[in-house]
């Protein structure tokens, strides 16, 4: 046998397979980690962009509904009442006012034989104020809960919600209504005034309200319509009814009818009784104020009652767009991060320390550089866009005769002691009830230099004293989200 042909046995065994070293594994893992981090960052950015687009799309959708509602409201021209006329009037002083102490620029009415003459409200400025009053009541942007309404038997708490209202000063025409009379809309509707008929031969001239009373205008056989007004506590009855409905009121509490004949519409007694009181109070107790603006927006656009109805149906929104984050029964529009959207009636081109806006910077005449920022001549003409108000196309709210405190020394809504002369009682009252129309960062020197004439009505210097600044802001709806960091950038 040929032993040389036998295979040689390798006692060292098979050759080992070559693997990754520890360094190589670390390098590979690092590369994989970097790739994964890039993927996660891209995915996170994609999610962020998706959230932003979803929130922006929701806001645009809601803004379209608000604008449609606003356009519909703007087609109506509410008739001014006496209170609007008093706010719009000119009151030079006690000696120069009309003999009855009422303002100038209010033509007299023709009344039936046997009734004294009085004044009516036909000035353009009164119409502008009446429209502002109407729009605010039909599109309130917020509400607060009256704590007294949470009591088991709320004494005098006829309405649990206040829609940012302001009381019209004066004596109610019906003492049984109490303080509620000063909050009935339109402004001054149930407050004593010359229209308030007292006897067959006279009028009550002790107040500046509209003077509606229960006994009728001229006689018991001719009852005056609209004694209960169109709203209360800052909102029309139709705007408020959508909120009351979601709070769990009975149908008689949000039907915009005075069912019990007490001069109040949709008050607590009409909407709440033993059958639902516990549920309604529990919802009011759960309410958080940060949700109020979004809840008001939902009530207007989805649960809208009255002749305007609603702009959307509840089915038009997903469960991620509408939630009840505080469990009070009032749905809210929420952004992609689950936070309620905020809804404002925002003054256009309004400047403040928090919202600088445009054309504000260092004082160009300040050589030392220590003066605070000021406006850098933004008013090239008297027809600046910022001074135009679609609610007041004839610029009646910019009339220097009405604006100047110096020319309205006898205004019943006079400013407080020490107030600047450029703000009359009429301007102060308008800002009290609606929104600011004077510049919060206005130049305040008592004797302006020639370089500051651009801020005033005239440009000749001498006539500037006591006339005041040229301003006419107006409001428009604003919806905003706090975004990913949940900081909306405005005071809430």
Instruction: For residue 348, name the pLDDT band (cuts at 50, 70, 90).
Output: low
Better pLDDT: 463 or 324? 324
Could you give the angle at the alpha carbon of 246 between the alpha carbons of 244 and 251, nearest 5°? Answer: 60
263 touches 176 (CB < 8 A): yes
Of these ranges, 144-148, 223-227, 305-309, 323-327, the one predicted with the greatest mean pLDDT is: 323-327
Residue among 345, 321, 317, 316 nearest 333 (CA): 321
Question: What's residue 463's pLDDT?
Answer: 46
Of these ranges, 39-53, 221-235, 353-367, the one predicted with the greatest mean pLDDT is: 39-53
Kindly give, in sequence order, each residue whose CB lies less than 8 Å from that of residue 415, ignoring residues fewer than 6 positions away: 405, 423, 424, 425, 428
Question: What's residue 11's pLDDT?
Answer: 62
Residue among 452, 446, 451, 450 nearest 465 (CA): 446
Q: CA–CA separation, 414 vs 450, rounded Å?
A: 30
Residue among 300, 237, 242 nearest 65 (CA): 300
Q: CA dist 273 to 147, 153, 162, 376, Å?
A: 18, 10, 21, 60
Q: CA dist 431 to 144, 189, 415, 427, Å?
A: 20, 19, 11, 6
Q: CA dist 420 to 176, 400, 446, 450, 468, Å?
A: 39, 14, 9, 20, 9
- The two most distant CA atoms of the chain are separated, in Å, by 155
Instruction: For residue 488, name the pLDDT band (cuts at 50, 70, 90).
Output: confident
Instruction: For residue 217, name the pLDDT band (cuts at 50, 70, 90).
Output: very low
Pairing assessment for the beta strands 360-361 and 374-375 based on DSSP bridges:
antiparallel
Residue among 118, 107, 84 nearest 197 (CA): 118
Better pLDDT: 377 or 55? 55
Q: CA dist 466 to 401, 408, 422, 459, Å?
A: 11, 11, 5, 14
Kindly give, in sequence order, each residue whose CB lies less than 8 Å from that of residue 69, ignoring residues fewer than 6 positions away: 139, 300, 301, 304, 308, 311
Question: Average of pLDDT values for 260-277?
Answer: 88
Question: What's residue 57's pLDDT?
Answer: 92
Question: What's residue 199's pLDDT?
Answer: 44
Q: CA dist 269 to 143, 159, 190, 280, 305, Å?
A: 20, 9, 20, 12, 20
Better pLDDT: 9 or 28? 28
- Indicate if the pLDDT at residue 234 is higher than 90: yes
> Tens digit of pLDDT for each residue in 101-154?
567 655 555 444 444 445 555 578 899 999 999 999 999 999 999 776 555 444
Question: What's residue 73's pLDDT?
Answer: 87
Question: Average of pLDDT values for 317-327?
Answer: 93
Question: What's residue 279's pLDDT?
Answer: 92
> Tens digit of pLDDT for each residue in 53-112?
999 999 999 999 998 888 888 888 888 888 888 888 888 766 555 555 567 655 555 444
- Indicate if the pLDDT at residue 460 is higher than 80: no
Better pLDDT: 99 or 46? 46
Which range (240-244, 384-388, 402-406) has the least confidence? 384-388
Residue among 294, 301, 304, 300 nearest 332 (CA): 294
Encode the chain in three state secondary structure.
Answer: CCHHHCCCCCCCCCCCCCCCCHHHHHHHHHHHHHHHHHHHHHHHHHHHHHHHHHHHHHHHHHHHHHHHHHHHHHCCCCCCCHHHHHHHCECCCCCCCCCCCCCECCCECCCCCCCCCCECCCCHHHHHHHHHHHHHHHCCCCCEECHHHHCCCCCCCCCCEECCCCCCCCCECCHHHHHHHHHEECCCCCECCCCCEEECCEECCCCCCCCCCCCCCCECCECCCCCCCCEECCEEHHHHHHHHHHHCCCHHHCCCCCCCCCCCCCCHHHHCCCCCHHHHHHHHHHCCHHHHHHHHHHHHHCCCCCCCCCCCCHHHCCCCCEECCCCCCCCEEECCCCCECEEEEEECCCCCCCCCCCCEECCCCCCCCCCCCEECCCCCCCCCHHHCCCCCCCCHHHCHHHHCCCCCCCCCCCCCCCCCCCCCHHHHHHHHHCCCCCCCCCCCCCCCCHHHHHHECCCCCHHHCCCCECCCCCEEEEEECCCCCCCCCCCC
Question: What's residue 196's pLDDT?
Answer: 53
- Indicate if the pLDDT at residue 37 is higher than 60: yes
When the pLDDT of each residue in the chain is averaged and rounded to a whole number, the result is 75
Q: CA dist 225 to 35, 95, 214, 292, 350, Å?
A: 75, 36, 10, 33, 39
Q: CA–CA separation, 109 vs 335, rounded Å?
A: 53
Question: Average of pLDDT values for 23-29?
Answer: 82
Q: CA–CA separation, 337 vs 486, rounded Å?
A: 8
> Tens digit of pLDDT for each residue in 390-420?
788 888 887 777 877 777 777 777 654 445 5
CB atoms within 10 A of CB 400: 18
- Indicate if the pLDDT at residue 421 is higher than 60: no
Question: What's residue 319's pLDDT?
Answer: 92
Q: CA–CA separation, 92 vs 411, rounded Å?
A: 8
């Amino acid at each position: 046998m040929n032993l040389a042909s036998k295979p040689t046995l390798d006692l060292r065994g098979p050759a080992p397979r070559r693997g990754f070293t520890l360094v190589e594994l670390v390098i590979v893992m690092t590369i994989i980690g970097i790739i994964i981090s890039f993927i996660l960052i891209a995915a996170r950015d994609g999610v962020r962009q998706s959230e932003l687009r979803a929130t922006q799309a929701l806001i645009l959708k809601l803004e379209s509904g608000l604008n449609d509602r606003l356009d519909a409201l703007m087609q109506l021209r509410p008739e001014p009442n006496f209170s609007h006329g008093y706010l719009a009037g000119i009151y030079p002083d006690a000696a120069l006012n009309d003999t009855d102490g009422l303002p100038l620029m209010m033509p007299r009415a023709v009344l039936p034989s046997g009734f004294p003459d009085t004044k009516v409200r036909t000035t353009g400025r009164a119409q502008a104020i009446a429209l502002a009053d109407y729009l605010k009541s039909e599109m309130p942007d917020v509400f607060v809960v009256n704590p007294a309404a949470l009591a088991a038997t709320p004494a005098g708490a006829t309405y649990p919600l206040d829609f940012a209202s302001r009381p019209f000063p004066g004596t109610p025409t019906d003492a049984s209504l109490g303080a509620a009379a000063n909050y009935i809309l339109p402004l001054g509707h149930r407050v004593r005034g010359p229209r308030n008929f007292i006897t067959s031969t006279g009028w009550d001239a002790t107040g500046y309200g509209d003077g509606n009373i229960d006994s009728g205008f001229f006689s018991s056989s001719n009852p005056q319509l609209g004694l209960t007004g169109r709203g209360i506590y800052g909102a029309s009855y139709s705007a408020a009814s959508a909120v009351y409905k979601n709070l769990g009121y009975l149908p008689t509490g949000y039907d915009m009818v005075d069912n019990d004949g007490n001069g109040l519409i949709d008050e607590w007694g009409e909407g709440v009784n033993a059958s639902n009181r516990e549920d309604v109070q529990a919802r009011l107790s759960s309410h958080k104020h940060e949700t109020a603006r979004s809840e008001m927006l939902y009530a207007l656009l989805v649960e809208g009652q009255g002749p305007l109805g609603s702009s959307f149906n509840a089915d038009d929104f997903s469960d991620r767009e509408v939630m009840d984050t505080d469990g009070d029964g009032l749905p809210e529009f929420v952004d992609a991060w689950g936070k309620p959207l905020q809804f404002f009636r925002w003054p256009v081109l309004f400047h403040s320390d928090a919202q600088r806006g445009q054309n504000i910077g260092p004082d160009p005449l300040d050589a030392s550089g220590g003066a605070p920022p000021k406006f850098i001549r933004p008013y090239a003409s008297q027809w600046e866009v910022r001074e135009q108000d679609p609610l007041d196309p004839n610029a009646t709210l910019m009339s220097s005769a009405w604006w100047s405190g110096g020319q309205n020394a006898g205004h019943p809504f006079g400013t407080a002691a020490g107030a600047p002369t450029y703000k009359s009682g009429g301007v102060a009252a308008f800002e009290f009830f609606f929104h600011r129309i004077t510049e919060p960062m206005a130049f305040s020197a008592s004797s302006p230099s020639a370089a500051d004439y651009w801020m005033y009505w005239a440009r000749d210097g001498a006539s500037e004293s006591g006339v005041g600044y040229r301003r006419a802001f107006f409001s428009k709806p604003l919806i905003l989200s706090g975004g990913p960091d949940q900081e909306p950038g405005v005071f809430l």
